[in-house]
Amino acid sequence: MRLGRSAVVISAALGAMSAMLVAGGTASADPAACKSLEVIAIPGTWETGPGNTPVGNGLLGAVTDGMASARVGVSYVSYVATAFPWESQVYGASKAEGIAHADGMMGAIAAECPSSKFAIIGYSQGADVAGDLAARIGHGQGAVGADRVVGVGLLSDPRRSEYDHLVGPPVPGNGGGGPRLEGFGALTEKIRTFCAPGDLYCAAPQEDFVARIFGFAAQQSDPGSSDKQAVPEGQNLLNELMAAGGIQLLQGQLTEGNNEARYRQIDGFLKSGAHQDYTRYVVDAQGNSATQWLRGWLIGLA
């Protein structure tokens, strides 16, 4: 049976429309390798380095080992991860590199996988990196939007605030680098932080202004930094110092006796293993350690 001219035109139009719909559906779909949840893991000081891409590296391995699946991807961030002036980079520059690498990694994954969500985790200097990156994302300054981040886990964050959502028993004080005054913005409710008692990285005595000044200096040690938060954070620290007793108080904390006491405190902290205790540090009534709790939380987010 022959089709009339109008029927042929209609048939051709329907065929073209069908082809367009199929092509459009194919273009909008994520590649098969994309995951529902991408876990971005940022190791601590000396746990990674330039050009090294670790998998399950350092303490975070207790969280991520065996986690990768058809739904969950795990990517470790490489950065110089040093701390002292005699190393390849000072702390501030190392941290800035970590933030840039993590943000770039998330942006690349987000562009390739538009439907993927993200979780960010970090330990020690890596928690410092992860927390600052989360703060940027929460204030609309990251490579991905806050709506694409479902959770952030920070183990021994040097910028922990007493107002952050702490998992585990109460721990007094803030991180040794001082809290993030701007907070986490839109990600505030998605943050989980862990700090073992006695870990001076995340629970520094607030009355020790000498230690706090050194912590602030370490945070601002990136020679190429133009961090706008440096001025208000420095002013906040100065205001607290002046309210507590000013220069006279600071001079009193720098006496030989106080310096000796500070040295003993730091030496005791380093020998205690509190900073490395997160695979054993129990944070809930079920007996889960910090790393076990964080692992279960991430799996639940997927």
Please tell me the predicted confidence (pLDDT) of residue 290.
Answer: 98
220 domain-assigned: no
Residue 125 lies in a domain: yes
Q: pTM of the predicted model, to two decimals?
A: 0.81
Residue 11 lies in a domain: no
123 in a structural domain: yes
Position 169 in a domain = yes
Domain annotation covers residue 214? no
* Residue 247 pLDDT grade (very low, low, confident, very high; cuts 50, 70, 90): confident
Structure tokens at 102: 């993590």
Q: Quick check: is 255 in a domain?
A: no
What are 251-298's pLDDT values in tens digits? 776 788 877 877 777 776 667 778 888 999 999 999 999 999 999 999
Tally of domains within the chain: 1
Residues 6+ apart with CB under 8 A from 94: 45, 79, 80, 81, 82, 83, 125
Residue 248, domain member (yes or no): no
- For residue 118, the domain's CATH number is 3.40.50.1820
pLDDT value at position 15? 46
Residue 280: give the domain boundaries: 34-204+273-301
Question: How many angstroms separate the Cα of 156 from the Cα of each of 100, 129, 196, 203?
Answer: 21, 12, 8, 8
